[in-house]
Structure 1
């Protein structure tokens, strides 16, 4: 992760894990998996689900539908009164941690539109097809390496399909064509769904000041509305639903405003590189800092790991073609010479610094120095007790023979 903490992390309702996250990653937004939330609700509220068919809809609306906190609080209170849940301890406990599961909270924090931990659980199922708890460590590593190779091969096939096939938008609209050329197929389908929902929104201008305009957008058949603030000088827009901040793609409300103002391409500030076909192009820069007081060995390991990751990425790409290979080889040769020159300069600088420091008079006036010669430690191996006894015996015999 290049020593960067995640912006958001999704877990189940494990108490120990929540405590560890608060301690180690206090800046990371901790969300609860909604799938686990529903599972726990089905267990603790089974009688309510059986008695009231509409409860599942109202409970789901509290999780997903509201964009304003006041609306969520009101809906939650109405649900309690409607189904006589005022004394339900489990729901009262969930309300205390509502910021972790209700989607009205944390919308300004990027989460890649994920609300469950099913991606990691799906990966666990894939892993179980390759390895077993009965495997030895060596056997486990062999099968795990086979899993990585298979996943990388599937990724290569997906990249090849993207490069060879052009996505066909459902409508011949220029902004959709632009999205099809920029985004991966999965993200483009999400964008296309949002664009189609824009047609079902009723837009109303509610304020205008210079280049700034504010619109109210109401989906057909819905009682709630969203507010979009648009700056025509920079083609920037902010929606109250916070979908772009949360998912990284534009919402139907902003797309409705863009369509009204004849914007035929997605503004660059709304295209996240991670969602594009060229997400792998370029080297991801690291943002970690090595402080002056850090352990030198730890700093060396961090620098080594960072450079290894970056150059492995370049080597993998450069080995694909002969031309790229020669370019990388020549570049590495020049870089190697520059690094050698840099290291040589550092070595000369340290020698000069040590030489200058050795000539400094460290005698302090008024303090009498001890001019006795300090006996240095011997380089020979110290003798053990048996060897010392043998030496004494030899000396004694020699004295006797002399006498």
Structure 2
């Protein structure tokens, strides 16, 4: 997979599924005991999810390996460290996903419709039901995203704007960040327009979360936060929203509104990372049409084959249809 992904998708980042990594960790580490009886599995989990700084990760992982002598699995997973720890994924646009969620969801849906004793005809019948179910859910989600307005907890201009733009799911995540920004404090650094921002605990305790550095640019209405949530997920974090508010910017700048998170995500032209329009691949379009026609022909054949009169009728129609298709193709070729 590593070689294929780098060859076929050279501009992508290959990340490993953290769910499967933790499943393998349970198999290899749960049985191990350290000298001081610390929880090896918990230490490894912290290396996966908790450390935003590479130096801190290296120190923690080194301490973990010192507790476990000669474990080959730990050595092997460390060799691929750029693909799974949080600190190495800070600049990767992951949309917040770190596991193979789509694959697992599809597998689970298929189990509801498929059984191991189905023949090929029954398989496709049940497969079509699974696909139809997925498409129905997609239509429901599309309707909800376009028609249902989310609940706004406070009538702030930024939230009102976001509620009209974002889908309900994304707006709720954005609103949570906005609420956190209300509990944030900021103090200036020695550099102009740069702040150290932290979030006060929302549970009434006196503890504070980790602090991050945020630089503001009022002329361009931009903020740059060391937490880098926007770069990873496409939603501004509470630290960045705090500094936007300090710059008296009360509406979300257009460059911080990703179309993919809005109600109009399916409208208009899709662009690549260079801003160029992405045109439909003719081969992909042809493959889609082929699948559609194959499904229809298969359905007709499976119904007609048991009745001789129906079989003869389909055979005659297909022979006539084949001649018409060939004539049409030849006419088009001569025209061009």
Q: What TM-score do you get using the length of structure 1 for normalisation?
A: 0.61
3-state SS in 2 of match to 1:246 = helix
Please tell me whether residue 303 in structure 1 is matched to residue 282 in structure 2: yes
Cross-structure match for 2:45: 60
**Structure 2 unaligned runs (5+)?**
201-206, 289-331
Judge conservation of contact 2:32–2:68 (CA < 8 Å) in 1.
no
- Report 1:15-94 matches (<5 A): 17-48=1-32, 52=37, 54-81=39-66, 84-85=67-68, 87-94=70-77
Q: 1:142 to 1:47 in 2, by over 3 A?
A: closer
Q: Write the distance in 2 (CA, Å) between the matches of 1:34 and 1:262.
A: 39
Corresponding residue to 1:191 among 174, 192, 195:
174
Superposition map of 1:3-402 within 5 A: 17-48=1-32, 52=37, 54-81=39-66, 84-85=67-68, 87-209=70-192, 213-220=193-200, 221-222=207-208, 224-284=210-270, 302-303=281-282, 305=284
For 1:241 and 1:55, the matched residues in 2 are separated by 27
Work out the CA distance in 2 between the residues paired with 1:101 and 1:117: 13
**1:161 shift after superposition:** 3.2
Deviation at 1:285, TM superposition (A): 5.5
- Asked if 2 retains the 8 angstrom alpha-carbon contact of 1:42 and 1:49, the reply is no
2:112 and 2:248 map into 1 onto residues whose CA distance is: 51
For the structure 1 residues 54 and 171, does the alpha-carbon distance in structure 2 shift closer, same or farther, using more than 3 Å as the test?
farther
TM-aligned CA deviation for residue 76 of structure 1: 2.3
Aligned length: 282
Distance 2:196 2:225 in 1: 10
SS in structure 2 of the partner of residue 204 of structure 1: strand
Change (3 A) 1:46 1:58: closer
TM norm structure 2 = 0.73
Q: Residues 144 and 288 (structure 1 numbering): CA distance in 2 closer, same or farther, change over 3 Å?
A: farther
Give the greater-gyration-radius structure (CA): 1
Given that 1:62 and 1:76 are in contact with CA atoms closer than 8 Å, whether structure 2 keeps it comes out as: yes
Q: CA deviation at 1:99?
A: 0.7
Shift, 1:283, TM fit: 4.0
Q: Deviations over 1:134-178 (max 9, x none)?
A: 434443333333323222222223333344432112222221222
Q: 1:31 aligns to what SS in structure 2?
A: coil
**1:202/1:219 contact within 8 Å kept:** yes
CA distance in 1, matches of 2:284, 2:89: 33
Could you tell me how far apart the structure 2 residues matched to 1:52 and 1:169 are?
Answer: 48
Distance 1:45 1:285, change over 3 A: closer
Alpha-carbon distance change, 194 to 266 in structure 1, aligned in 2, over 3 angstroms: same
